[in-house]
């Protein structure tokens, strides 16, 4: 599956000033797996992400734009086969919107900066929020704390 580089510490002030304007530019920036998920709302196979078992302290960032999305403090083992979090790192880090489909309407989770598809959020998570942000590992990079 995708390339989950552990990156050196990058503050949100160091994010790239511009985002790609075209799909061709996005294809150049992203791995094929990350492109399929972030730009085409794809889903990686269950249990395929090497980020699923990350237990280290650190931050999970958008593979498309580098924005901090989740931290290891909010990560939990949901048993679903995808990295799961009970809350985003910051309230404005992600956006949500209705995602109608054959099995009913789900709530899609998007990066609030680049609008990349990350996964879905469900109301069956642990306290304190009761939320389960079920996120594709190929949509993320992990940055370990030093």
Out of 62, 111, 114, 134, pick the active-site residue.
134
Active site residue 114: no
Contact status, residue 61 vs residue 69, Cβ threshold 8 Å? yes
- Cis peptide bond upstream of 85, omega within 30: no
What is the dihedral sign for C-alpha 70, 74, 78, 79?
positive
Contact status, residue 56 vs residue 72, Cβ threshold 8 Å? yes
> Which are the catalytic amino acids?
134
């Amino acid at each position: 599956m995708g390339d989950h580089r552990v990156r050196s510490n990058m503050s949100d002030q160091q994010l790239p000033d511009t985002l790609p304007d075209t799909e061709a530019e996005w294809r150049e920036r992203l791995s094929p797996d990350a492109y399929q998920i972030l730009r085409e709302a794809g889903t990686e196979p269950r249990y395929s992400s090497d980020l699923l078992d990350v237990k280290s302290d650190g931050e999970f960032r958008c593979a498309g734009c580098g924005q901090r999305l989740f931290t290891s403090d909010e990560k939990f083992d949901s048993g679903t086969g995808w990295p799961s979090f009970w809350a985003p790192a910051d309230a404005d880090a992600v956006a949500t919107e209705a995602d109608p489909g054959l099995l009913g309407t789900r709530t899609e989770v998007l990066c609030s900066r680049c609008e990349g598809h990350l996964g879905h959020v469900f109301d069956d998570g642990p306290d304190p929020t009761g939320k389960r942000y079920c996120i594709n590992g190929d949509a993320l990079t992990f940055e370990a704390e030093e």
